[in-house]
Structure 1
Amino acid sequence: MPRTRRCRYPNCHAMVDFPDHYCQQHYEHEAEYLASRQRWARGNDKQYTHKYNTVTRYRNEGKRQQYSFYRTRQWSHLRQQSLERDHYLCAYCKVQGVITPAKTVDHIVPIEFDETLKANVANLAVICGSCHHAKTEWEQAYYGTGQGNKLQSVKPINDVPAIVVLMDKEGRH
């Protein structure tokens, strides 16, 4: 049995099947209603994005500068160079013999740990979503990056195969 609901037109008690909101008699209002819902969603998304950016992402001046780098032309060129060099394939999966398409470019040594490497193309690797999540967790444990963590004084590792081995040892990959 299909799900139904009452027509949204005032004082109309006709039942309509999902996903419609108006009955056949008032169906001309459907497009207008859907457009108003989209406008509302776009407006409220900005509130969420603003809160995320001001509270979480840009929580201090150092983070603000770090993320502003990702909006520069320099980063755009470095990113494109890395994607073409690695043929849009995840470098971390490739080490394990798996071919995974990817469009994210990641700093091998996080710029939070060593900011001097942020514009070094040799410190960039293409990474898929699952590897990026696992690597972020590993970085937080090894380097002490991330919110609420304290940076460790450890030796930076800039070798992708070595990082994959360390991630596997800790069960993060």
Structure 2
Amino acid sequence: MPRTRRCRYPNCHAMVAFPDHYCQQHYEHEAEYLASRQRWARSNDKQYTHKYNTVTRYRNEDKRQQYSFYRTRQWSHLRQRVLERDHYLCAYCKVQGVITPAKTVDHVRPVEAFPDDKDNINNLAVICGSCHHAKTDWERSYYGTGQGNELQSVTPIDDVSAIVVLMNEK
């Protein structure tokens, strides 16, 4: 049985077979309707596609390995162990005396600067969204991480409370 729908003409209840939009009695409106749909699609095309693929990722081999690590079973087990260890609470907020629930696990020392510590459970801490944003900004200025920056040779900071102090100074 062919698919059918109602005629688009106001108060006309005749059924029309796909792909038509108007019945035989009102078929003269079909071309006008299709033209208006094409005009609308052309004018609204950018509205729906302007956000597609806006994030540009690194395309070098080091970054590819870093991103692929987060899709491994090893990372999911490490992440779960850290979440349970820290009771799903942001370690950075806890240092400031605030209890904030969180589900993100972050490397205290960034993987980009210290790739050997990516699977070290002592280098992982639970972090909330606002602290993660502030810490990422701090890492960019202190370690030189991020796209377009050059890594700086500085002493690594392993203590979460020291990082919180430095993050709040900025």
TM-score by length of 2: 0.70
- Structure 1 distance, partners of 2:124, 2:60, is 25
Is the aligned partner of 1:48 residue 2:27?
A: no
Query: Is there any run of 5+ residues in structure 1 with no aligned partner, and where?
Result: 1-8, 14-43
C-alpha offsets along residues 124-169 of structure 1, whole Å, 9 cap, x if unaligned? 0000000000000000000000000000000111110000000111
Letter paired with 1:151? L
- Structure 1 distance, partners of 2:124, 2:105, is 6
**Equivalent in the alignment of 1:20:** none
Query: Is there any run of 5+ residues in structure 2 with no aligned partner, and where?
Result: 1-6, 12-47
- Structure 1 distance, partners of 2:9, 2:131, is 54
Map 1:121-132; keep pairs closer than 5 Å: 121-132=121-132
- Structure 2 distance, partners of 1:169, 1:105, is 23
Is the aligned partner of 1:167 residue 2:143?
A: no
- Structure 2 distance, partners of 1:132, 1:10, is 52
C-alpha offsets along residues 78-127 of structure 1, whole Å, 9 cap, x if unaligned? 00000000000000000000000000000000000000000000000000
Letter paired with 1:107? H
- Structure 2 distance, partners of 1:66, 1:150, is 17
Q: Computing the radius of gyration over CA atoms, which structure comes out larger, 1 or 2? A: 2
Map 1:1-173; keep pairs closer than 5 Å: 10-12=8-10, 48-49=52-53, 52=55, 56-170=56-170
TM-score by length of 1: 0.69
C-alpha offsets along residues 25-76 of structure 1, whole Å, 9 cap, x if unaligned? xxxxxxxxxxxxxxxxxxx88x935x64xxx224211111101000000000
- Structure 1 distance, partners of 2:10, 2:99, is 57
The 8 Å contact of residues 106 and 124 in structure 1, kept in 2 or not, is answered as yes
The 8 Å contact of residues 89 and 100 in structure 2, kept in 1 or not, is answered as yes
- Structure 2 distance, partners of 1:60, 1:128, is 29
CA RMSD of aligned residues (A): 2.0
SS of residue matched to 2:52? helix
